[in-house]
Amino acid sequence: MLEELKKAAIEQAMKLMSHPTVGKLLSDQRLLSAISKGFEIHGQIKKAVEEKLRELARQMQLASQQELEQLNQNVENLREKIAELEKKLRSPSRRPGGNKG
């Protein structure tokens, strides 16, 4: 279904791009410059907001997303180690009397 949506969106975009008015607009350097400036401003605003949010989180002594991801990774590593140790404890060679020969 996602592929169908992508295909339909591409088809519609191609139709739009072939429209004479759109072609004329896209050839206007002022419009392209304005679009470019818009993306630049969007990036600057996003960066500023993210920095303010990080600063606010620090002031409130909240963990950052990066710290939470690292913590989750550490927990997962510990779970894997515990599973390995439990497996070793359950192996017959580790049980009392398991090495009788």
Q: How wide is the angle at C-alpha 71 spanned by C-alphas 65 and 77, nearest 5°?
A: 140
Tokens 């009788």 locate to 100
For residue 60, give the DSSP letter.
T
Q: Over range 95-101, report the average pLDDT.
A: 55
pTM of the model: 0.48
- Per-residue pLDDT tens digits for 40-90: 999 999 999 999 988 998 899 988 888 899 999 999 999 999 999 999 999
Contact call for residues 75 and 82 (beta carbons, < 8 A): no
CA distance 92 to 26: 73
Residue 5 in this model has a pLDDT that exceeds 50:
yes
> Cα Rg for the chain, rounded, in angstroms?
29
Q: What local confidence, expressed as pLDDT, does residue 100 receive?
A: 52
